[in-house]
Amino acid sequence: MSAVAESPRAAWLGATARILLPVLLALVAGGLILLILGKDPLEYYGFVVQRGLLTWAGLQESITRSAPLLLIAAGLIIAFRAGIWNLGVDGQFLLSAVAASALAPALAGSLPDWLVLLLSCLLAFAVGALWSVIPAILKARYGINEIITSLMMSFLGISFANVLVKLAFRDPATTVPQTVTLPVEDRLLRLFGNTINLGIVIALAAVVLVHLMMTRTAFGLKLQVVGANPRAALHAGLPVGRLTIATFALSAGFAGLAGAVEVVGVLGTIRADWNPAYGLLVVPLVFLARFNGWAVIAFVFAFAVLQIGGESAARRIGVPHFYVLVLVGLLLLFLAVVEYLDHLRRQRRGQ
Amino acid sequence: MDAFLSEAFLTALLYGAMTAGVPLLLAGLGEQISEKAGVLNIGLEGMMLLGAYAGFVAAYYSGSFWLGFLGGGLGGLALAALMALLCVRLGMNQIVIGIALTIGAEGLTALLHHFQFARSYPRLDEVPVLALPGLEEIPVLGPALFRHHALVYLAVLLVPLLAWLYRRSAIGLNLEAAGNKPGALDAAGVSVTRTRVSAVLATGFLAGLGGAYMANVGAGLFVPFMTGGDGFIAIVLAMLARGRPVWVIFGALLFGISLALTTALQVTGVNVPTDVVQMLPFAMVILVLVIFARHSVLPPALGLPYVRGDR
């Protein structure tokens, strides 16, 4: 908020520019890299939009892909608003996915489908939350930087998930190590076409609920106070340590739920060494949206289109999907630069 | 279980620990310099990775290992320069920029590798080894510790050099002040910005050097994402070393051993899924952090940009 009053229209324009400028700059800089590598950036971007958004099959895939990304984003909104860097999302996601893929097929058949799916999701949430306990306690009790600890737990969790798939939950009927497959008819309800499933509804509801929780409830407000100024929160009598642990658990729980939705909605099984590494990719999107749930939905969908389109472009145009990583890095970089320039502008006007 | 105490196993384990530990040592020492000066360099992983790529490219096209190492150092330095500009000069958020640089470096190196080497996967020649006369004759320890590329001995010598620098020189004092009380350094007429920029650049060079060693000596080739979290382990090393270089070398050796265990176990014919062994270094980091949580000390001004006159 600037000290000098801006007209609402100018403020709105400014906010839009601050959001769209980094995207534009990242796309242009990324395009230059493609040009250097001898690929036509316009052809690439055109193909991505065409394949990820404008065909019915691609659109369905993009919507389906949005579900786990949105759930991860919901968790990150909580963490970032509370000033916690939960960068261990990938480990939380993968371990929970493996847990769900072990539980669901074991129960399917003996319990009603809705109960199996519910239990799988609850288990995944709990596993994700559990995997965040160590970084949370180290942060709450000793002030150890949670970026490092959550990342370490993430690397640990990814390897551990592989161990579980290969040694504990391996389907003896398959040659490639993978968990027992959940039959298609026992998975999450399909909507509209043949790929979109109930996961997207769960994910949208989660983002909206998280947004409302953080902006409209006393609990959310407390977390925001801790995020804005932990020392002030402590002076105000807030149990900062306990809130930190709760933040971590919720944030990691949603990452876990994302894993469950991917398993019981889309994949049905987890193969060894599968790791989509969504975690760090969602971070810039949540920042770009300024932790606002509604904006997160828009950005995550746009990113899903980029991912789905980019996966086909890898085959068709020969630009590997690593390019998406470059774009995400550039996006985060330009986001910081634009934010900085805006800060300077406000300062100058304030004086 | 005699196999575990056999000469071959111990030699392979120690040799592997040295090879895996040197990148950690270099990057950890580098990170320590930045942290002393008050800059938390989360982009270390990216700097190692870019160093690995640039180092491999330089060694591959020049045919010289030394030019390869130089290339790797410069690769890390380039990324560090960007970080210094954005975070130290302009005061942007060190964590956001660090993550951005790491993601960007991961994507960029994988992309470049795809276009240049993905069809052929070229390897470098055998590493020229400098065997220390006399010492190399010692059973087990000789072949494990004293038959390495000359860079390894230089990396080890860096430890006492840095320790001396921190304790006895004006440079060390300035670094320490930039992290502990930047205002005091400024008042003494030394530029905080310049001190921190130099620290970040040194970090980048060392991390890049470590990455180049990993690619050129450890693997003999560049593989996308090959640093696999080593940059983050190095940050932990620097955190736990409490500003003392000698602890970085102990830590690097310890984590090197856990990284080397996979290969060493193959010598004995024990078959464990690699994933189990891959968990070791990270489990070790967590364990060490849980045990020594109270003792890890970081400078008070770490992570905060310095703005003259701010409180």
- Taking only the tens place, the pLDDT of each residue in A235-285 is 988 999 999 999 999 999 999 999 999 999 999 899 988 999 898 889 989
Q: Please judge whether A326 and B107 are an interchain contact, meaning their C-beta atoms are less than 8 angstroms apart.
A: yes
Band of residue B298 on the pLDDT scale cut at 50, 70, 90: low
A283 vs B99, B107, B232: nearest CB: B99
Best CA proximity match to A262, nearest among A89, A107, A80, A81:
A89
Other beta carbons within 10 angstroms of residue A127's beta carbon come to: 24
* Helix extents (H) in B117-229: 141-145, 150-168, 170-180, 182-187, 192-213
> Which has the higher per-residue pLDDT, B308 or A202?
A202
Q: Which residues contact B293 (CB under 8 A, 6 or more apart)?
A: A138, A141, A142, A144
Band of residue A188 on the pLDDT scale cut at 50, 70, 90: confident
Q: Is the pLDDT of residue B141 over 90?
A: no
Q: Is the pLDDT of residue B2 over 60?
A: no
Q: Please judge whether B107 and A142 are an interchain contact, meaning their C-beta atoms are less than 8 angstroms apart.
A: no
Window B:68-127, CB contacts with A under 8 Å: 86, 90-93, 95-97, 99-108, 110-111, 114-115
pTM: 0.90
Return the residue in A36, A139, A151, A162 with the most chain B beta carbons within 10 A, the one to mutate for interface testing.
A151
Q: Please judge whether B111 and A324 are an interchain contact, meaning their C-beta atoms are less than 8 angstroms apart.
A: no
**CA B183 to CA B191: how far, in whole Å?**
10
**CA B99 to CA B93: how far, in whole Å?**
10
Chain A: closest CA distance from residue B282 (Å): 6
Kindly identify which residue of chain B lies nearest to residue A159, measuring between CA atoms: B275
pLDDT value at position B49?
Answer: 97
Query: How far is residue B298 from each of residues A73, A244, B31, B34, B241, measured CA to CA in Å?
Result: 30, 21, 12, 11, 10
Chain B: closest CA distance from residue A10 (Å): 25
Window B:287-306, CB contacts with A under 8 Å: 289-290, 293-294, 296, 298
* E strand or H helix at B130: strand B130-131
Chain A: closest CA distance from residue B121 (Å): 16
B220 close contact with A: CB closer than 8 A? no
The identity of residue B267, as a single letter, is V
Q: Please judge whether B104 and A144 are an interchain contact, meaning their C-beta atoms are less than 8 angstroms apart.
A: no
User: What is the interface pTM, i.e. ipTM, of the complex?
Assistant: 0.88
Kindly identify which residue of chain A lies nearest to residue B103, measuring between CA atoms: A329
> Per residue in A20-49, pLDDT tens?
899 999 999 999 999 999 999 999 999 999
Q: Please judge whether A162 and B275 are an interchain contact, meaning their C-beta atoms are less than 8 angstroms apart.
A: yes
**CA A174 to CA A180: how far, in whole Å?**
9
Q: Is the pLDDT of residue A317 over 80?
A: yes
Q: Please judge whether B282 and A152 are an interchain contact, meaning their C-beta atoms are less than 8 angstroms apart.
A: yes
Q: Please judge whether A134 and B104 are an interchain contact, meaning their C-beta atoms are less than 8 angstroms apart.
A: no
Window A:199-258, CB contacts with B under 8 Å: none
Window A:247-306, CB contacts with B under 8 Å: 280-281, 283-284, 287
Kindly identify which residue of chain A lies nearest to residue B118, measuring between CA atoms: A320
pLDDT value at position A125?
Answer: 97
